[in-house]
Amino acid sequence: MSRAYRPLIVTLAFLALLTVSAILVGHDGWGPRADNEQAIGEVSRWCERVSDGFLHEPVNALSNLSFVVAGLAMLWVMSRDVRRVRETHNRMIGNTPISVLYATTALFLGPGSMAMHGSHTFFGAWIDNVSMVLYISVPWLLNLSVMGRWRDRRLFTTYTAVVALYAAGYWLIAPDLGIGFELFRVSVPLWLISELIYRFWSPAMRWISGFAGFLIAGAFGITPVEMVQNPDEYWWVFLFWLPGLLATHAPPGRRKYTPWFFAGVSSFLLAYAIWQTGTADHSWCRPDSVIQAHAVWHLLSAFATWCFFMFLRTERRIPSPHDALPENAR
C-alpha cells in the first residue's frame, strides 16, 4: 500500500465494512424506533414521509453521501500533497494527524446522519449527534492549540475527552446532558470567535472577542436580549470568552479568507435557513417530494466542509525578523 494513499484506502475499507454491517443489521428492520420518531406512513420530523423500506427517510438519508464524497475528495487531495512532496508548516497539507482527522470527521457526518434518517432508532440519533461534535470540535480546538502552543498530544487528548464526555452524556443522561447544553450549538460560535482571534490577535482582542458570540448567535435568530432574559437556558454564554482565555500567543501563520472561508460561511448560513423550512410543521413541507429541504441542508453543509478544508490549507507562515538574518548571525 502506497504511504501517500494509506489514509484514503483505509477509509474506503472502513466504508465498505460499514456498508456491509448496515445491510446485515437493517435488512430485517432496524429495531424499536426512538420515542421522538414517527410511525411508518406518517410525516417524519424532517418532513419526508416515513417509508417501510430499508431507509425510513430515503431522500434525507441518501443526501448524506455528499459528506462521504467531500471527505474522500479531501483525502485524495492530501494524498496528492504527499506524492508531490510538499513541505510546509501547514498541518492541513499532506497526511498529517490533524488533516486526516478533519477529513475523516467531515466524511463521517454522512454515515452518522444517515443512521438517524435511515433507522429512526435511538442509536441513530446518538451517532448522528456524535458525528456532528466529532467534526465541529476539530477547527476550534485546532485554533486554540495553535494560539495556546499545545503539543499534538495535548490537542488530541483534549479532543478525545470532549467528544467522549459528550457521547457518554448523551447516551446515559440526555441530548442536552441534563444541563441544557448542546455542544454542537455552542461549538459554532466558539469556532468563529477563535477564528476572529486567529486573524486579529492582540491582548485586547482576546477579551473583546467574546462579545462577538452574541452577534453570531443573532445570525441564527437568538438575540442578546433573549439570552439575557433567559439565563437558565443560555447559562453557557460565558464560554464565549473561552477562546480568548486560552489564546495566549499570536498564531505563527496567516490564512486567506477569500474565497473559501466566506464561501463556507455563506453555504452554511444558507443551509441553515433552508433547514428551518424542512420540518413537518412548516408550510413548505411536501412529504412525498423527491426534493426535501433537509436533504438540501445536507448538500450545502457538505460543500461548507470542503470550503473550510480549502480555507485551512491557505495558511502560510508569517516571516519573522529572525528569518531574515544570515545563517551565521542567528
Tell me the per-residue pLDDT of 211-220, one tens digit each, with 9 for 90 and over.
999 999 998 8
d(CA 158, CA 181): 18
- Is residue 328 one of the residues assigned to a domain? no
- Is residue 269 one of the residues assigned to a domain? yes
Contact 47, 280 (CB under 8 A): yes
253-254 and 316-317: which strand pairing?
A: antiparallel
Give the residue among 272, 268, 276 at the shortest CA–CA distance from 47.
276
- Is residue 266 one of the residues assigned to a domain? yes
Question: Per residue in 171-208, pLDDT tens?
Answer: 999 999 999 999 999 999 999 999 999 999 999 999 99
Q: Sign of dihedral through CA atoms 135, 139, 144, 146?
A: positive
Specify the pLDDT at position 11: 97
Give the residue among 93, 105, 99 at the shortest CA–CA distance from 68.
105
pTM: 0.94
Question: Per residue in 223-273, pLDDT tens?
Answer: 999 999 999 999 999 999 999 999 999 999 999 999 999 999 999 999 999
Number of domains in the chain: 1
Long-range (24+ apart) CB contacts under 8 A made by 176-185 are 180/232, 180/233, 180/235, 180/236, 181/236, 183/133, 183/136, 183/137, 184/129, 184/132, 184/133, 184/136
322 has pLDDT over 60: no
Specify the pLDDT at position 326: 53
- Is residue 9 one of the residues assigned to a domain? no
Band the pLDDT of 324: cuts 50, 70, 90.
very low
Cis peptide before 259 (omega within 30 of 0): yes
- Is residue 137 one of the residues assigned to a domain? yes
**In the block, which residue shows the cell 495556546?**
148
Specify the pLDDT at position 124: 97
Of all residues in the chain, what percent carry a pLDDT higher than 70?
A: 96
- Is residue 85 one of the residues assigned to a domain? yes
- Is residue 29 one of the residues assigned to a domain? no
Residue 221 domain boundaries: 37-317
- Is residue 27 one of the residues assigned to a domain? no
